Structure 1
Amino acid sequence: MIQYQIEENVTLEEFRAVLLNSTLGERRPVDEPERLLAMLQHGNLIVTARDNGKLIGVSRSLTDYSFCTYLSDLAVNQDYQKMGIGTELIRQTKLATPKAKLILLSAPQAVGYYPKIGMTKWEQCYVLDDVNNLK
């Protein structure tokens, strides 16, 4: 039985493993442990899915618990995908921040997933990778 909970002490090794075992590892700094550790330390809402103690899914967010919740990382081990675990991780994240709008940027492979589970697509998102690009 999969257990969902809010956790504050997900280990670096567990987090890295779930990223690598999902498609999200392709777009995260999995070979930079110091950055992964900072991601864990500064994400202020981490919801996990565990199967007999093994971390199989994670929702890592930054939130003010009032206006917005940015769900930065949603990763589910590929062996457990298509079982509703991602949807439940999103549900648990939203339940923890009921007044806040939940916002995420989709991985290219998951663009079709979010509308299917009831999320609304917005066209107004912008990204800045390099401060030197500001004019």
Structure 2
Amino acid sequence: MSDPVVYGLELDLDAVTFQGILVESGLAPRRPAEYPERLDRILRASDLIVTARLGGRLVGVARTLTDFAFCAYLSDLAVARDCQGRGIGRRLIAETRAAAGPETSLLLTAAPGVEGYYEAIGMARVPHAFRTDRER
């Protein structure tokens, strides 16, 4: 019997471990993964970090900015490639929603090419969203 995936809140997640899951998930090219100091700032400013561990190994993370009263922005959802397709991403989102509370709405920006995943798990597209891009 294989180990169960263990979900938890880890606000003290370190930058090196976070960097590892960004690489393992394929999300690293879309994040400043080559800058551990910047990853550390990102983590320290996060309100909610939900993790998935398998045998102690970090296999998934959901990182969110929220006020716990109205809105929550799920900025990073990363699952190691060798663990995708097991429901880990869906569970990370469910754990994030539970921790953010029933008064919050959850918003995220999908990486190109994976929009269908979010639709398949029941998230609605938001047609009237806007953004400005980072300078670096």
TM-score range, shorter chain: over 0.9
Q: Quick check: 1:30 aligned with 2:23?
A: no
The CA deviation at 1:130 is 5.6
TM-score (norm 1): 0.93
Q: Deviations over 1:87-117 (max 9, x none)?
A: 0000000011221000000011311100100
TM-score (norm 2): 0.93
Matches of 2:8 and 2:111, distance apart in 1: 24
Q: How many pairs does the alignment contain?
A: 131
Task: Give me the CA root mean square deviation.
Answer: 1.1
Q: Aligned to 1:112, what secondary structure does the other structure show?
A: helix
Q: Quick check: 1:48 aligned with 2:72?
A: no
Which residue identity does 1:89 align to in structure 2?
Answer: L
Q: Percent identity?
A: 44
Matches of 2:27 and 2:116, distance apart in 1: 15
Matches of 1:48 and 1:130, distance apart in 2: 26
Which runs of 5 or more structure 1 residues have no equivalent in the other structure?
Answer: none
Which runs of 5 or more structure 2 residues have no equivalent in the other structure?
Answer: none
